[in-house]
Structure formats: C-alpha cells, structure tokens
Structure 1
C-alpha cells in the first residue's frame, strides 16, 4: 500500500514538473507580447501626449499585467527613491532585478537594456525611433518564442510523465 502511494506521488511530481516547464514555454510569447504592448503605450505617451518619461512609465504600468507592470513600476521607484541614479541605471537595475521572475530570456533582456540606454537622453523623435527598434526586435523574438512553445511544450509534458514512470518502474 505504501509503495502504491509512493508511486502515485512520484508520478504526480514528475507530471507537475513537466507541466511547469511547459507553462514557462507557453508564458514566454505572452510576456513578450505584453512587453511590446508596454512599449507601444510608452511610444504613444511620449509621442502624442508629450508626457515626461517617469509619468509615462507609471501610466503604462497601470494598464499592464504582472510581471511587466512590476518591472516598469520598479523603474519609477528607483528613480524616485534615490536621486543619484540616472534613468539608464534605474532601467537596467529594474530589468536585472525582475528578469528572473519572468519567462523571458536573455535576448529580450538585452533589447530592453539597450532601449533603456537610449531613453531619456535624446529628443522625442529619437526616443520613438528607439522604441520602434526595440519593438521590432521583440517581435522577432516573439515569433521564435511561439515556435519554441509549440515545439517544446508537448515534449516537456510527455517527458515529465515518462521520467516519473521510469523512476516508478525502477523503484518497484
């Protein structure tokens, strides 16, 4: 009886690990799309609203789901908390701090950090050009993420179940 309960727990744990990994693959394109949407809103705030950058970032964060909203709010918090940090340092610090909480990978982070280096130091038109460039880079990464999600989600689900089944067979 105890062996049967142990086998069921191992099967359940292996299945959940596979499903958790598959959900990270499925979440990546969604989060990239949310980041693109945030940059589109930021472009609108800067381009048409003539809104100052910190205010534009907080307005954009109000309409976004987690973890993208937390990333943008942390940029503003860092700017307000210590007046010694530049916008670039605040942007990069927030990106590095919140990146482990996302399903996104290094290419998206690199595009976001490059954008932070260009925002706040040039005129409105140049900032809009940099936002559009970052959005194009993220769109290409989103396509790759969708492809990876379709390819690897099923594999991880099956791998979790099959690995757990193998462990159960080896134990029994």
Structure 2
C-alpha cells in the first residue's frame, strides 16, 4: 500500500520517469506501470500456502489411524433358520381385562414368537408360578405341532439366570430334540 501511494506521488510531480520511479522504490518498471494504470489501491493477494496437513507423511499417518475412529457399522441382519428358535416372554396388560363372571384382572400372558417367521402364539396364565408357565409352554408347543431346537427366555427367574433351574431341566426333558438312529 505504501509503495502504490509513493509511486503515484512521484509520478504526479512529473519529475521522474517510470524507470527512475522503479529504481527509487526498488521495484520493476512493469510494476510501476501496473500501479499507475489503476485508480484503486491494489488488493494484496498472497499465493495459497500449503498447510502442514499437505505434507505427505502427515497425510499417510492420519490415513493409517483413521479406521480406529470410524463409527462401527450398523449391525448386520440376523438370519434365523426355520424351526431353530422360539422367543418366550411374559406380557402383562396395562389395563385390567375382563376375566368373566364380572371379574377383571391383569393376568400374565405367555407369548412365544418364532424368530424365523415372526409367527406368535399367546396364552393367558392363571398365575406366574413355574408350573403354570410350563403348562402354558407345553400347551402352545402342542398347538403349534412343532418343537423348536431352542426356547429363548429373557431374564426369566423361574427358568434360570445363567444356569437352568431344576424344574426347567425336568420340563425340557420330554421336549428336547431326539437323535434319529
């Protein structure tokens, strides 16, 4: 900015040539000519400078560690084979249901869902006792006319947490898949 003003001031006196102004200011004659061609103060434009991230070694290092910070892929779709597994759970109505004879209640409902087809069955149980639960499971399995290889329970305390309870092992005996000879 100071050079532009000085060039214009020296030229306006008429005492100096463009070559002489260039020598006095320390710039080329072409630069003096460009400065005199415009009435506006020139904008200083610096050439784009590379950052430290343009250095190949840094870019390679970042590319190497980037996979560690990538969010995990969404879960894959589970594939269930036919007859392999049935999900079992108890459901409790949010509001009382009519039970007959003018009575209402919120009985536990055993729900069994095939993980392959999504087919489900449900049965109201008279109580949450383990024998009523096993009776309901047996009834639903007989109705379905098929026994899956696996019955899956979520946190059923009567079924067992980590280890099956004795009544569960006894119940599973007759329903367990048999080897064919």
TM-score normalised by the chain length of structure 1: 0.26
Higher strand share: 2
Higher helix share: 1
Choose 1 or 2 for highest CA Rg. Answer: 2
TM-score normalised by the chain length of structure 2: 0.25
